[in-house]
């Protein structure tokens, strides 16, 4: 939502300032210029990137417009889930935990958290780590290194759509010049005609340069930056899961393991210890009733 407000501010300020100078908005409506610039920019992205990256670009843009998922309530929910999971493993044994991580969709704990089940990479990241812990014989430092490698691979993959969108944004001013040159070519063919027609064609050519620069610095560049921040937020979330899993592997009590994870949450969305404790105690009651 905040991204939409920002876009409205950008275009509203430009249109408002233009009207204050008694400009005519209809002059800026040049569909042909937009088709040349935007169509060519999309084409460059399609040429340079495989289909999975293109799909992640679309998904990243949707995430920017729908708002960040990693809120304080989201983390409280995850802390509650992790506490229930670790507490269940401590009481029922590692054999029961192995059943949960091998079939998360059938787990009585994971099934209560559908958002986590839909986050496939986070689900596999946690379950694969706990599966290794259940198997035994793995040093906590080795486990931590495996999680770090997994996070690095995911981070590199998640950076690909951001880099692709940034490259597209950087190409827009140049493509605006291409559109302007084509407009000049058309204008040269109209020499000798009415002055009004020549003036209109020159204005259309200049609009091409204007659109290229505007779309770069006023739209797609900021969208790429917003996607990068969403990617960083996801990285913080995986760091949170990493700390929780590491605490469990080290044999910490469930409440200490989730407290270790809580400390890894960014301060802007970090719940207090009291909020975490209240959520976990409620989760413990639910788990005991289910048992």
Is the predicted pLDDT of residue 290 greater than 70, yes or no?
Answer: no
Is the predicted pLDDT of residue 283 greater than 60, yes or no?
Answer: no
* Neighbour tally for 1: CB within 10 Å: 8
Q: Is the pTM of this model over 0.95?
A: no
Segments in 190-249 forming alpha helices (H): 195-215, 221-249
Asked if residue 91 lies in contact with residue 58, where contact means CB atoms within 8 angstroms, the answer is: no
pLDDT score for 93: 77
**Positive or negative CA dihedral for 96, 97, 98, 99?**
positive
> What does the alpha-carbon distance between residue 88 and residue 135 come to, in Å, rounded to a whole number?
17
Average pLDDT, the chain: 88
Is the predicted pLDDT of residue 285 greater than 60, yes or no?
Answer: no
Place of tokens 């992640």: 56
Between residues 171 and 97, which one has the greater pLDDT? 171
pLDDT band, very low/low/confident/very high, at 190 (cuts 50, 70, 90): low
> What does the alpha-carbon distance between residue 197 and residue 187 come to, in Å, rounded to a whole number?
9
pLDDT band, very low/low/confident/very high, at 286 (cuts 50, 70, 90): very low
**Positive or negative CA dihedral for 125, 130, 136, 140?**
positive
Is the predicted pLDDT of residue 183 greater than 80, yes or no?
Answer: yes
pLDDT band, very low/low/confident/very high, at 287 (cuts 50, 70, 90): very low
Structure tokens that stand for 182 in this block: 């084509």
How much of the chain exceeds pLDDT 70, in percent? 95
How much of the chain exceeds pLDDT 90, in percent? 57
Is the predicted pLDDT of residue 189 greater than 80, yes or no?
Answer: no
- Report the pLDDT averaged over residues 236-253: 93
């Amino acid at each position: 939502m905040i991204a939409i407000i920002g876009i409205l501010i950008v275009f509203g300020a430009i249109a408002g300032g233009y009207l204050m100078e008694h400009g005519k908005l209809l002059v800026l409506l040049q569909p042909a210029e937009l088709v040349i610039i935007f169509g060519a920019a999309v084409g460059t992205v399609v040429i340079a990137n495989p289909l999975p990256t293109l799909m992640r670009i679309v998904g990243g843009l949707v995430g920017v417009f729908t708002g960040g998922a990693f809120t304080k309530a989201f983390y409280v929910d995850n802390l509650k889930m992790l506490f229930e999971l670790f507490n269940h493993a401590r009481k029922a044994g590692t054999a029961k935990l192995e059943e949960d991580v091998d079939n998360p969709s059938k787990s009585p704990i994971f099934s209560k958290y559908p958002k986590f089940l839909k986050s496939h990479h986070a689900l596999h990241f946690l379950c694969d780590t706990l599966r290794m812990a259940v198997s035994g014989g793995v040093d906590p430092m080795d486990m931590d290194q495996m999680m770090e490698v997994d996070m690095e691979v995911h981070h590199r993959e998640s950076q690909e759509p951001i880099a692709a969108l940034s490259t597209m944004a950087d190409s827009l001013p140049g493509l605006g010049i291409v559109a302007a040159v084509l407009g000049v070519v058309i204008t040269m063919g109209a020499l000798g005609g009415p002055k009004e027609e020549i003036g209109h064609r020159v204005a259309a050519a200049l609009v091409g340069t204007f659109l290229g620069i505007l779309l770069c610095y006023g739209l797609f560049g900021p969208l790429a930056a917003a996607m990068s921040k969403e990617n960083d937020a996801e990285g913080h979330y995986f760091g949170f899961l990493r700390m929780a899993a590491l605490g469990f592997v080290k044999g910490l009590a469930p409440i200490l393991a989730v407290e270790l994870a809580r400390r890894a949450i960014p301060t802007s969305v970090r719940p207090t210890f009291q909020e975490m404790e209240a959520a976990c105690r409620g989760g413990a009651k639910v788990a005991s009733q289910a048992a």
